[in-house]
Structure 1
Amino acid sequence: MAEIRIRNTEERIKGEENVQAFLKSQGVLYEHWNTAKLPAELKNKFELSDEEKTQILETFQDDIKNLAARRGYLTWDIISLSDATPNLDELLKKFENVHTHTEDEVRAITAGRGIFVIKGAEEVGYFDVELEAGDVISVSQDTPHFFTLMENRQIVAVRLFIETEGWIAHPYADEKFQSK
């Protein structure tokens, strides 16, 4: 279950209803998918073949199509990151810069853990959304944010897009942002 850390105050928000209510107040969609239906051999696997990626997409096909129909997403894929990912540190440096997109950034976590760092309302400032398997988040277009991995540096997620080319990051310079 997702947990939120508000950076300015170190306040933690826990529990699905509390997390969902806070994120909704910040314009962020949060849902939960049932990962129990994922085959056991894929629950903690972070190096995936194309066939295994297809199997994950097929497992969550109904959830994906439901979310896509409600939010206008047209295409989706799987991203899998771990220490086995070539040039992972360089990739993470690219991810770990505050930016915006002209469409929502969506992640449905099927294995592992990750963090979205999001700029909230002025009175909230930046907050971290710590995600784990089953968590689904959609950061609204034009919202400053970035995504990174947690300590274990392992994640598998379904990404959904409106634009078939995927997201294009637009750098967002913010003197108020502090990396930790």
Structure 2
Amino acid sequence: MEGEDSTTLNIDQFETMFRRNHQFLCAVAMQYVHDQFAAEDMVQDFFIDFWQRRHTIQLTTGFEAYARRAVKYKCIDFLRKSAVTEKRNSMLAALEEEQEHHDEQEYNEIRHQRYIKIVELIQKLPENRQNIFIMHAVDKMSYAEIAKKQNISINTVKTQLSRAYSALRNHAILVFIAFSSLSGRF
């Protein structure tokens, strides 16, 4: 199209230019972006832009030189935007990882404080009830095993466990509410 005025470009001429130069321009773009799909996108964007601005573009060189330069600049712009996006994504990933680590530490601290409170509540139980509770909840002993070991009836074991769980449940609800308001997550 060298020497031709681009304002007289019709669709048939444009299609001929496209077919004649598409592969060459994709190769030019590949030298910059090293990605076939991105290269094809750059070339397609160039041709769309060229068609839309065909009435205002004044070619001072041949079409191939103009197109090569335009595709080159489109690729450079694409690479700049990709680098900025990649840098932002890296920064966001680092911030998210830091926040997750902080949240995990906070969660573990709250769990630890709850554990301490539960241990304190268990320690406030009467000694006999506390021993029966620990044998059942921690040592996983059956009612019969506890009754035999403590030399008490199974009904006494059931009563003591019921009272222990009731006391712990009542106090644990208060502990849970206190920690929930602190953490804002539970």
Kindly name which structure, 1 or 2, has the bigger radius of gyration based on alpha carbons.
2
Question: Which of the pair has the greater relative contact order for Cα pairs under 8 Å at 6+ separation?
Answer: 1
Smaller-chain TM-score bracket: under 0.3
> Which structure's residues are more often helix, by fraction?
2
* TM-score where L is the length of structure 1: 0.26
